[in-house]
Amino acid sequence: MVIQPGWGAPVFRDEFDGNQIDYSKWELGNFSNQANNEQQHYHPDQVLVYDGGLHLWAERDDNWTYGRNYNSGHVRTWQEWSYGRFEVRAKLPYGQGFWPAIWLLPRTATWPQGGEIDIMEARGDRPYGVSSALHWGWDSNSRQYRSQWYESGANFQEGYHDYAVEWEVGVVRFYVDGVNFYTLYEPDVGIPGTPKSLIMNLAVGGDYSGPPDGSTPFPSAFDIDYVRVWQRPDWVAPPTSDIADGGFENDQGALSAWTTFGNDNDNVLSEWGTPQDGERSLKLFGQFTGEENSSGVAQSVAVTPGDLVQVSSQALTRSEDAITGTGNEVFMKIEFYSQFGAANDSEFLLGESLALIGDAFMAQDQWALHDLAAVAPAGAVEARLAFVFNQPGSNDNGSIFIDSATLAVTLGRLDGDINDDGFVDLLDFDLLAQNYGSSTSAGAAAGDFNNDGVVNLLDFNIFATNFGSSLPASVPEPATAALLGLAPATLGRRRRH
């Protein structure tokens, strides 16, 4: 079983063991391509399976048996997929005029409306490079997005190498030997979700590679070791959450469930095309005012003292607009207020916990999970989850994407924690001693932990049992821990929201 992190087990695979093509998986080409000035006829006889691999052979045919001077191999999966990871391990042929390709194409949609994804194209006269591309449009004049000629230092004709694409909603990532060398995003380009089959072929001649010449070795083969296709596991809803629209999807991304702040430059938005789940994510960047500024979103829930509030989110910065190397910082925060809906940083703010989820050192082009927890202090009626993008006065560029935000409130009070500070300690013992012998309807809030109407020795026994225990407190991430000493300066940068 071949497990790909984040993708699970393949939904399709062919290791080409044995000595015959699996006709239930593959359609073998038998046609002469009229496009691109190619010079070959594709014929099933040119497709062979042996020595644990698939081999597409190109041969000269001086008799023009099928109307062309060259015959070659072409295979295509019967199955089609919308989105997935497609990976092929292959060895490329040497020789002027050879054009090996691995690509995705719809069977029924009119080209280019359904889109074409070229996982790998290469020229036989250039052994050290390959390229990738996306073609898409509404008519015959397609949009074309082609990568730069990619060279890793390897000779792709001397051994086997891995060629892959990850095609997801709004993004296409191209890989060679595990290196993501080219990425395309929606809405910068069109990336249709039309189901596509996988094609592998060895063209001879054509506009891409030029015609063969006297130096071109015939016969030659495009050798394929395996083909594997993954699709994301069925999306699983995030943990139970007490906030709305944690995926920033609702109302076509209107962010109606959230309060936005610092959105003076359309810099707080739900963007289609860079999701961790669903189709949208929250995109934040600075206001570029020339001065230090903060922007973001917030959402509140009701709490009572002693409640455990746990939040989480996923964060990503894209390499072409990264905050890596900048002065920008992004925080996920839990704020507690004694008045619901109070202004940010007002006198009703009782305390906060924060986690740094983006800064100059964050990795690029990969989602990272962040968690934070805090206990509602005495007097708290509101917990507020906020995502805050801080841009320094230097006008640093870069943006961050946030998705899969959750907030869960666990109702609770520790028996023995009379003052609701999250700890059962001597401060609670003093309060318990003061109330000893009194009859009360306040229950645990006054020390009557067993709710029998009186504070007595039974309650002292409960206190003694829990003495020294505490509710889970905020657990800063490593980067956040170093910031806590700077909290006053950091918090001073926040704008009201």
Q: Which of 27, 59, 87, 121 is catalytic?
A: 121
**What are the distances in angstroms from CA 285 to CA 181, 216, 341?**
25, 53, 25
The C-alpha atoms of residue 234 and residue 131 are separated, in whole angstroms, by: 31
Q: Which of 38, 87, 116, 279 is catalytic?
A: 116
Angle made by CA atoms 415, 466, 337, in degrees to the nearest 5:
45
Contact present, 421 and 377 (Cβ < 8 Å): yes
The C-alpha atoms of residue 335 and residue 350 are separated, in whole angstroms, by: 8
Q: Is-catalytic flag, 121?
A: yes
The C-alpha atoms of residue 343 and residue 337 are separated, in whole angstroms, by: 9
Angle made by CA atoms 264, 328, 317, in degrees to the nearest 5:
95
Q: What values do phi and psi take at 236, rounded to 5? A: -105, 130
Contact present, 134 and 119 (Cβ < 8 Å): no
Contact present, 26 and 242 (Cβ < 8 Å): no
Smallest CA-to-CA distance from 359 within 183, 266, 483 is with 483
The C-alpha atoms of residue 249 and residue 272 are separated, in whole angstroms, by: 9
DSSP class per residue in 422-462: SB-SHHHHHHHHHHTT-B-SSGGGTT-TT-SSB--HHHHHH
Smallest CA-to-CA distance from 96 within 58, 51, 133, 64 is with 58
Residues belonging to the chain = 497
Quick one: how far is CA 173 from the chain centroid? Answer: 11
**What are the distances in angstroms from CA 112 to CA 27, 115, 135, 198?**
22, 5, 7, 16
Q: Taking the CA atoms of the chain, what radius of gyration do you get in angstroms?
A: 31
E-strand ranges in 258-381 read 259-261, 268-272, 280-285, 293-302, 308-316, 329-337, 349-358, 368-375
The C-alpha atoms of residue 30 and residue 139 are separated, in whole angstroms, by: 27
**What residues are paired with 296 via a beta bridge?**
261, 388
Helical pair 457-466 and 426-435, crossing angle rounded to 10 deg: 170
Q: Is-catalytic flag, 279?
A: no
Helix H or strand E segment including 27: strand 26-28
Hey, which residues are catalytic here?
116, 121
